[in-house]
Structure 1
Amino acid sequence: MPLTDTEVRNAKPGAKPRKIADGDWLFLVVSPNGSKLWRMGYRFAGKESVMSLGSYPTVSLAEARRKRDDAKALIASGQNPNQKKRLDKIKLATSAADTFAVVAEEMLAEKAHAGGKESTGAAPATLAKNRWLLSLALPTIGHRPIADLTRQEILDVLRKVEASERLHSAHRLRSVIGEVFRHAMENGARASADHAFGLGKKLKAHRSEHRAAITDDKALGGLLRAIDGFDGQPTTRAALQLMALLFPRPGELRFAEWKEFDLEAATWSIPAARTKTRKPHVAPLPLQAVAVLEGLRPLTGRGALVFPGYGKGGNAGDFKPRPISENTMNAALRRLGFTKEEMTSHGFRATASSLLNESGQFSADAIERALAHQGDDDVRRAYNRGAFWEERVRMAQWWADHLDALRAGRLQGVAILKAG
């Protein structure tokens, strides 16, 4: 006869464990200490097995019968219920360990050392940006197993960033979250899909804006004089001076190391790991840039970084083992009176590109090579350093002399010295 709730509740312990059958493979084990445990006996692949279904009263009689029926259904489908139970526990433990934060950190580490080759790893500035973007999501979803995250949860995170009027960051974050999901999918199948895919359409459109840059000769002369008179940290002043002279990407200059500069040969060799094109780039140094670096060497030359950040005290010589921050140069420009609508550190590239092209003195290819841009076609990409090196050396010195003229108020600038 099947058990009743009253019989289960009133079942008394004996000197030895005793089994009370409910029928259809289910029975209750009453231990001498009074505990009551649900068990199910079954045969699978010719072997007798016993499966634990929980303890009473945590698992009621009705719940024990439901679990028994579920196990019977598994057996009918050719699955061993005990084995599936163990696998489910392993899966649950693995899922709990593979949180979004853990997988995100794995993805960043892989990007930093892609293929184990410096030339293919992501640039430090890119990694720092991705880490900052992920920090916008981690407080909400970082602790969640990535396999359990839903598309709606990701959209909620993105809309929270969007609501703070950071549209560009919201779209960039969507892209980085997608990278995390794809990493999980490709490494252990820990996620079934990229739940960030297509969510850009759910966000407000972000209109890309050109970075502010000064392209007027008179205004540029005023900017150069202001930089020379900057009374903040000397490393910041030198960084701005070199941005104007060499017009690199800000991250390329911020992370620059002394070993990359050959002041006698007047060259700066930027490693592939730090360039946007993922290819090494060599820039000629005009005399003025060499002078700035020689003036900076006594201050930071004992360390690896040309532009190390200052310690909390802000004292010269009290350096951090990391470069000046991305905002340091922009903050200096604001302090000098130039708004973000007027000039940015990245804007020095647009300034140089615009004025060099307008001068009509140099080939477009040489200017593009100086900017370390990828060529527009296969032919342009095929050129190596030697193809434009001599022209770039002349152009670098002409540009530095031109800036000197503008700084002095001579708006006509300087004439080009033709080769030969």
Structure 2
Amino acid sequence: MPLADTRVKKAKPAEKDYKLSDEKGLYLLVKANGRKYWRLKYRLGGKEKLLAIGVYPDVSLKAARDARDKAREMVAQGLDPNQAKKERKAATSAGNLFEAIAREWYANQFPTWADATAKKRLALLENDLFPWLGARSVSDITSLDLLTCLRRIEARGANDTAHNARQVFNQIFRYARITQRTTNEPERDLQGALAPKGVKHRPAITDPEKFARLLLAIDNYRGSLVVRSLLALCPLLFQRPGEMIAMEWEQLDLEAGEWRYTPPKTIHKVKCPDGIPHIVPLSTQAVAILTDLYPLSGHGRFVFPSQRREGGHASAGTINKALQNMGYDTAVEHCAHGFRSSARTMLDEVLGLRVELIEHQLAHAVRDALGRAYNRTSHLPQRREMMQQWADYLDVLKLQAQSPKVVTGTFRKAK
């Protein structure tokens, strides 16, 4: 005889567990502690099995019968309801694992990052976090678990990476809470847990006389034409090393004297407008270097092609390696990125040029008095004049280094 709602509701605990049968294998198990559980008996492959459906009153009599009927349909098709239940539970649990949520967060953030940032974030996740936390549910991860990961990163001397990891933890757990996968907040206790972040200064020569000697060393560099040309253009153009090595011929207009390329998606943590190129005016000296190089690499895509990877451009370490070959310590004296600091300092302090023009040419985000970002095409005539003046100044520096009696009144600091 089928159960009635009133009988289920009024069932009282006894000294021992007992059952109240419904029909088609469904019954209510009344425990001695008063708890009531729905169970279903079924046979599959000649064996009797038991399926736990739920707890009354969370699962009503009607809901228990619906679950029973679905389970019986599966049995009729030769499927095991218990196995299906395990698979559903595993799928739900997988969605709550740290790695699954972290990869969702990464995919959502990816469009807002520069390529280099995206690569660093993925490397941090896969090398420093997933091996220890990836298979853990976000609800089970403690503050101590997170701190242990951070300490492991600190132990290898990567203090800045540890700080980046803490920020990543903050964002991933915030995303997990927003998507209602957890209410856990272990990252909140990490504030102040790490040693202060170190300040890194990229070494750069900013003294004109020492810089002149560097320019002469570049002129006398005994290497391939590709590397010599790359080195010679670094002080003239002072763009980021990663953008220099990836320069493409189709980005260049030698007749107009311009190099147009699209900078990273973010510059100094300020999101840049998509599709607006950065314009680098080319001095006559820069055009001469590129014109001389064109017969060698102009048939390909990249201005500075790789000597090892067919179809690729020069590697990230090309400039620093060449500087080291010339006897410069790139960790202490001058590095590839240092050409930017050299130009920034001397354009301002020696030539006295307008700071906003210099910042524009460095592809930094420059804002007006109202806080609005200038367009990258702003002040192009003035920047074109500045770049030629800079190139001429570098020629004079080299002449002075070779012949100290050379007088250069042209390049007095602007008033």
Q: State the TM-score, normalized to the length of structure 1.
A: 0.69
What does residue 252 of structure 2 align with? 261
CA displacement, residues 286-332 of structure 1 (integer Å, 9 cap, x when unaligned): 12222333344344434433344442xxxxxx5354x4443333333
* Separation (CA, whole Å) in 1 of partners of 2:302 and 2:375: 28
What does residue 322 of structure 2 align with? 332
1:160 aligns with 2:146: no
Q: 1:42 aligns with which of 9, 28, 50?
A: 28
What does residue 198 of structure 2 align with? 207
* Separation (CA, whole Å) in 1 of partners of 2:155 and 2:294: 46
* Separation (CA, whole Å) in 2 of partners of 1:111 and 1:94: 23
CA apart distance, 1:104: 4.2
Which one is further off, 205-214 or 193-202?
193-202
What does residue 357 of structure 2 align with? 366
CA apart distance, 1:351: 0.9
CA apart distance, 1:168: 1.3
1:282 aligns with 2:282: no
User: Given the superposition, is the C-alpha separation of residues 74 and 274 from structure 1 closer, same or farther in structure 2, using an over 3 Å criterion?
Assistant: closer
Give RMSD over aligned pairs: 4.2
* Residue type at the aligned position of 1:288: Q
Whether contact under 8 Å (2:217, 2:326) holds in the other structure is yes
* Separation (CA, whole Å) in 1 of partners of 2:354 and 2:287: 25
Gaps of 5+ in 1: 1-21, 28-38, 54-63, 115-120, 312-317
CA apart distance, 1:162: 0.6
Alignment partner of 2:39: what SS? Answer: strand
CA apart distance, 1:350: 1.2
Alignment partner of 1:397: what SS? Answer: helix
1:71 aligns with 2:60: no
Gaps of 5+ in 2: 1-15, 30-36, 43-49, 68-81
Alignment partner of 1:306: what SS? Answer: coil
User: Given the superposition, is the C-alpha separation of residues 109 and 151 from structure 1 closer, same or farther in structure 2, using an over 3 Å criterion?
Assistant: same
* Percent identical residues: 33
* Residue type at the aligned position of 1:294: T
What does residue 390 of structure 1 align with? 381
Alignment partner of 2:260: what SS? Answer: strand
Kindly report which structure 2 residues correspond to 1:12-411, keeping only aligned pairs within 5 A, or say none. 23-25=17-19, 41-42=27-28, 50-51=39-40, 71-72=55-56, 74-75=58-59, 90-96=88-94, 99-112=97-110, 114=111, 121-137=112-128, 138-146=130-138, 148-186=140-178, 188-192=179-183, 195-196=186-187, 199=190, 201-232=192-223, 234-273=225-264, 276=267, 277=270, 278-279=272-273, 280=276, 281-311=278-308, 318-319=309-310, 321=312, 323-339=313-329, 340-375=331-366, 377-379=368-370, 381=372, 383-384=374-375, 387-408=378-399, 409=401
CA apart distance, 1:89: 5.4
User: Given the superposition, is the C-alpha separation of residues 384 and 97 from structure 1 closer, same or farther in structure 2, using an over 3 Å criterion?
Assistant: closer
* Separation (CA, whole Å) in 1 of partners of 2:126 and 2:66: 41
Alignment partner of 2:93: what SS? Answer: helix
Alignment partner of 1:41: what SS? Answer: strand
CA displacement, residues 122-156 of structure 1 (integer Å, 9 cap, x when unaligned): 22222223233334313333444555443322221
* Separation (CA, whole Å) in 2 of partners of 1:232 and 1:197: 53
User: Given the superposition, is the C-alpha separation of residues 380 and 247 from structure 1 closer, same or farther in structure 2, using an over 3 Å criterion?
Assistant: farther
Alignment partner of 1:71: what SS? Answer: strand
What does residue 19 of structure 1 align with? none
Whether contact under 8 Å (1:171, 1:200) holds in the other structure is no
* Separation (CA, whole Å) in 1 of partners of 2:234 and 2:396: 17
Which one is further off, 364-373 or 329-338?
329-338
User: Given the superposition, is the C-alpha separation of residues 269 and 165 from structure 1 closer, same or farther in structure 2, using an over 3 Å criterion?
Assistant: same
User: Given the superposition, is the C-alpha separation of residues 234 and 171 from structure 1 closer, same or farther in structure 2, using an over 3 Å criterion?
Assistant: farther
User: Given the superposition, is the C-alpha separation of residues 370 and 49 from structure 1 closer, same or farther in structure 2, using an over 3 Å criterion?
Assistant: same
CA apart distance, 1:273: 4.2
Alignment partner of 1:319: what SS? Answer: coil
Whether contact under 8 Å (1:374, 1:381) holds in the other structure is no
CA apart distance, 1:364: 1.7
